[in-house]
Structures are given as structure tokens and as C-alpha cells.
Amino acid sequence: MQVVTSAPAAMGPGEIGPWAVRAERLGFDVIHISETIHDPFTVAALALQHTKRVTVRTSMALAFPRSPMIIAYAAWDLAKFSGGRFHLGIASQVRGNIVGRFSAQWSEPVARLADYIRALRAIFASFQTGAPLNYVGPLYRFERLQPYFNPGPLEHPAPQIWTGSVNARMCAMAGELADGFVCHPTNSHPVVLRSRTLPALAEGASRADRAVSDLAVVANPHVMTAATRDAVDAIRDQRRSELAFLYSTPAYRRQLEDFGLATVGAALSEMAQRSEWDDLPSILTDEVMDRLVPQGTYDEIPDVLRQWYSGLCSGINLPVPPDEADDDRFAALLAACRQIPAAARNSS
């Protein structure tokens, strides 16, 4: 099982280097770079510059505010700079952000992201082979790439393209077109993976005449772990606030519904509509948290994650501990997690 970690959303160019070095030293296989308040490609470049082994993946860069050609150049540069350690993760975001925050064009997101990924693959192929670029899709059209503007081939395969979602149609699109898929915290529980996410990925994979085992899948369950039980309990309130906010969004409530907690999701949405943000966490009781989130001390959590995810996914996202004094114990935790059997992958 790969062990993955996400750089804190607020972490910018000045902080990412030492943090990435520490993550690599601990034994993580992959670092995720989100897009929130910093440019993800700048932060990814600095993470790559300071590391030697770990893969760096944007998770997720926003596709629609950028032309596929702009993202293709950025991904190609990072892949070449790192010797192939960069993966491109892209996603759609929601209409309100794309239109209101970025003043960018919005259309049906599943079809648009599918066209976007196909365009990226066509551009990558032209970069790698020098063949003329001639991509005409329903939304994107690329018919011009003079040799002067072609960065030329890589000494390794083109960057992998990953995406993520909770929507069944978007998951199916990922199964058809993506190299990998990162689950949202609200569709990472094993019950939801088995009942919703993996079947949707498999449906899409079948459209491309491939198996779901061709796709890498990373679970992102917002694990709660610390050196002591008291410290785990202290983390609980922070996670409670994060999850209460996420579950207040109707699109993210399906996991609650699968656990018979639809009334909890409805209550959170109603409170969000009234802007009662401070009161949201009170709805997620300890009992609800115990059902939704894997938790335990550093000694306990590998067995918990083995019970939850053995044979189910390719990787698990875990947080870097805040206290460097715990690094030796945490490195042992990661080594144990890497021994969890991963989902079988098609090697063809």
C-alpha cells in the first residue's frame, strides 16, 4: 500500500521545501499539493526541488480556469525537471468558484473535464513525438503547435493524469480516462468505496475496455492519529469541524446517507444556509465520528487501516505529525502501513 500525505493548504513556497524533505524522510511515497491560496505548480516545483525520491502530485489543480495547453506546459516542465516524479491531478471544482472567483467559463463539468483530459493527452503525445497537434473535441480545439513552441520529448513517460470526485458520473469518467483517482474525504470510507465509488469507476473503465484494476485509487479518510489516546481525542474536535463543514454541502452527504445518517446531513445543510458555522460541529457526535473516521494511536492505526482498506485501494492519505519528536514512531507506523495489501493492479 502506498502512503500519501497532503501538504497543509496554507503552506506556500517559503515553507514547502523543509516540510517535503521531512515527509520524504518519514517514508511517504507521494506528496499531494492542493490549490487553495497558492499556485499548486509553483509549490509542487519547490517540493520536487527539495526531494529526491517522493512523487509530487497536484491534488487537485483547477482545470477550467486554465487552458489545457497552459497546464500541459507546466506539467511537462515539472515532469522533466523531476525525472518523472510529477503527476498531474486536475479537477472541476464547483460553478460558484469557477465563475464567481475566477471569472472563467462553465459548462457541464463531466463532459468538459473529459474533453480536457483527452486534449491533454493529445498535447502530451505531440510534445513527446513531434507529430502535428490535431485535437478537435466538443469544447476544446488544438490544431497548431509549431516546432518552435514544442518543448520536445521526455526521457520517461508523459505525466500521469489523475482526478477526483464524489459524483458518480465524474467517477465513471475517471474510470474511463484517468490514470488514477483520489477519493474525497466524504467518499473514502470502505462502505462507500465498495457501494458507490469503485462500482462507478468500474463502469467507466468498462467503456474504455479496461478493468478498474488499471486505475490507481487513493483513499483520503482524514485519519485521526497521534502518539497517545489523549492526543487523538484532541485532534477529534479539529476533524469534527472540518467534516461538519464538508457534510453541510449536499453533494457530500451521500456517505452520511449510506450510514443511515441522512437527518444529520440535512441538519448541517440547514444550519449552513443560516450561516450558523460555529454550531455545525455540535451535530457530529463522537458516535458519528467513530463510525466515519479511522482513528487510533501510532501503535494502533496500522491495524485499523488494515481492517478498513486491505485489498481495497492503492494508497492511503495520512497526515504528517505536527511534532518532529514523534518522527521515529511515525516512520515505523508508515512502514507498517506499507505492508497493508493493496488492491490488485493490472500490470499489462
Alpha helices, H only, the chain: 13-26, 40-49, 68-82, 95, 109-129, 168-177, 190-192, 198-207, 229-247, 254-258, 262-273, 286-292, 301-309, 327-337
3-state secondary structure of 136: strand
Task: Please check whether residue 260 lies inside any domain of the structure.
Answer: no
Query: For residue 104, what are the domain limits?
Result: 2-227+299-337
Task: Please check whether residue 256 lies inside any domain of the structure.
Answer: no
Task: Please check whether residue 245 lies inside any domain of the structure.
Answer: no
Q: Please, what's the b/e burial string for 184-193 (b: 16 or more CB within 10 A of its CB; e: otherwise)?
A: bbbbbbbebb
Task: Please check whether residue 342 lies inside any domain of the structure.
Answer: no
Task: Please check whether residue 258 lies inside any domain of the structure.
Answer: no
Q: Contact, 224 vs 300, CB < 8 A?
A: no
DSSP letter assigned to residue 55: E
DSSP letter assigned to residue 153: -
**How many other CB atoms sit within 10 Å of the CB of residue 123?**
25
Task: Please check whether residue 247 lies inside any domain of the structure.
Answer: no
Task: Please check whether residue 239 lies inside any domain of the structure.
Answer: no
Q: What is the pTM of this model?
A: 0.94
pLDDT of the residue at 66: 97
Q: Which three cell numbers stand for residue 202?
A: 468500474
Number of domains in the chain: 1
pLDDT of the residue at 249: 84
Task: Please check whether residue 347 lies inside any domain of the structure.
Answer: no
CATH classification at residue 136: 3.20.20.30
pLDDT of the residue at 348: 44
Q: Which three cell numbers stand for residue 304?
A: 485499523
The cell 516545483 sits on which residue? 45
pLDDT of the residue at 252: 83
Q: What is the mean pLDDT of each run of 10 residues along the chain (348 residues)?
A: 96 96 98 96 98 97 98 98 98 91 94 98 98 97 97 97 94 97 93 94 96 93 93 89 88 84 92 91 91 94 97 96 93 97 74
